[in-house]
Every structure is written in C-alpha cells, then in structure tokens.
C-alpha cells in the first residue's frame, strides 16, 4: 500500500511539472501574482508594483499622505515607461551603456561585500572612544570669539567619535583582508605606461 501511495505521489508531481513547464509565460506570470501576498497597485506591461514594495519606500516613522503615495506610484510608472522605451530603442546594446551597466554591477557587488565584511567589525570600548577623543581633540575644536580655545565635550561628540572609530576599524579590516586575498589572484601592474598620460 505504501508503495502505491509513493507511486501516486510521484505521478502527481510529474504531472504538475509537465503542466507548469507547458504553460505559457502569461499564465506563469499570473501564477506569480497569486503567490505574492501583496496587492498590485500599478502595472506597466508585465511589471507590477506591489503594495509591500511601495511601503518599503517609506522611512521608519514617516507618515505619508495619500497624495504622496499617488505621486510615488506615478513616479514608478514614469520610470517603468522610460525603461521600456530605452529597451525598445536598443540602448542596452550601446557599448557605452554596457560599460556603465558592468561598472555599476561591479560597484554594487563590492558595496555588498563591504556590508558583509563590516557586519562583523568589533564595537568600540568606552576607553577606546575616550582615547580617540583625546588623541584627536583638534577635530572637536569649537570656534570662539574669545582668545581661549574650547572643545566640544566628549559626551556631545560621542556619536561623531563612534562613527570615526568605526570607519577607521573598517578601513583597517579591509586593508588586512585585501592583503590576504590579493595572494589568490594573478595581479600585474605596469607603471611604465604612466609616462604616456
């Protein structure tokens, strides 16, 4: 009996696979629509703007009027129409455009890599922050009309200090990581060609 159930399940799965692979693209797109839990608020051709995507454009705590939501939808529609028109005109085949796309792709991937790398940077200790403040006090100098020099108090400068210390740690971590990873790639630099610049 278990063997028959197993065969029936396998047959059902096979039939479903054949059905899905034989469906045309329009049906599959509509199937994708039903799989999404969010309502569609705008469409341009087969591109859809879902309510949850629209909500993602709102910053935390912001209250947005209905008119502003409508403007955001119109902006999305305008962008999609312009994108389709660019494709229709073949701009994606232009060599300059292809280079821009490739450069943008590289930048996005490097930025994502940095986010992953920086996610594990150690947090700063109070002692470390205080030392940074003392060693870089000139960065927190306040302009004053009097002859005496004054500095921003540590507590007031703390957010800036934390940001600076974190940035320095990220820079050091990246430098160390790059020194290790560069060993895995063949790298050649030809400074002799700089004379032609």
Q: What is the pLDDT of residue 34?
A: 47
Q: Report if residue 55 sits inside a domain.
A: no
Q: 31-67: per-residue pLDDT in tens?
A: 454 444 679 999 999 999 999 998 888 877 788 888 9
Confidence band for 19, pLDDT divided at 50, 70 and 90: low
Q: Report if residue 11 sits inside a domain.
A: yes
Q: What is the pLDDT of residue 11?
A: 55
Q: Report if residue 63 sits inside a domain.
A: no
The residue among 93 and 36 whose pLDDT is bigger is: 93
Residue 76 has pLDDT above 70, yes or no: yes
Structural domains in the chain (count): 2
Q: CB 54: neighbour CB atoms within 10 A?
A: 18
Q: What is the pLDDT of residue 24?
A: 54
Q: Report if residue 75 sits inside a domain.
A: no
The residue among 7 and 139 whose pLDDT is bigger is: 139
Containing domain of residue 137, as a range?
A: 121-185
Q: Report if residue 10 sits inside a domain.
A: yes
The residue among 185 and 195 whose pLDDT is bigger is: 185
- CA dist 151 and 183 (Å) reads 45
4-13, Cβ contacts within 8 angstroms, sequence gap of 24 or more: none
Average pLDDT for the chain: 81
Q: What is the pLDDT of residue 71?
A: 92
Q: What is the pLDDT of residue 109?
A: 94
Q: Report if residue 40 sits inside a domain.
A: no
Q: Report if residue 99 sits inside a domain.
A: no
- CA dist 160 and 156 (Å) reads 9
Q: Report if residue 127 sits inside a domain.
A: yes
- Rounded to the nearest 5°, which phi and psi values hold at 40? -85, 130
Q: Which residues neighbour 29 within 8 Å (Cβ) at sequence distance 6 or greater?
A: 46
Q: 97-133: per-residue pLDDT in tens?
A: 999 999 999 999 998 988 887 776 666 788 888 889 9
């Amino acid at each position: 009996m278990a063997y028959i159930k197993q065969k029936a399940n396998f047959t059902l799965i096979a039939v479903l696979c054949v059905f899905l692979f034989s469906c045309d693209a329009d049906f599959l797109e509509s199937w994708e629509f039903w799989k999404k839990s969010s309502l569609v608020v705008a469409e341009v051709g087969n591109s859809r703007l879902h309510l949850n995507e629209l909500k993602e454009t709102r910053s935390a705590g912001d209250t947005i009027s209905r008119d502003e939501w409508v403007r955001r939808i119109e902006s999305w529609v305008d962008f999609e129409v312009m994108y389709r028109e660019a494709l229709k005109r073949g701009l994606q085949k232009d060599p300059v455009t292809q280079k821009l796309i490739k450069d943008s792709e590289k930048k996005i991937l490097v930025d994502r890599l940095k986010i992953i790398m920086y996610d594990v940077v150690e947090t700063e200790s109070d002692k470390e922050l205080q030392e940074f403040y003392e060693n870089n006090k000139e960065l927190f100098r306040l302009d004053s009309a009097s002859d005496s020099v004054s500095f921003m108090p540590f507590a007031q400068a703390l957010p800036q200090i934390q940001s600076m210390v974190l940035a320095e740690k990220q820079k050091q971590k990246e430098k160390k990581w790059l020194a290790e990873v560069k060993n895995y790639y063949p790298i050649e630099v030809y400074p002799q060609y700089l004379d032609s610049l």
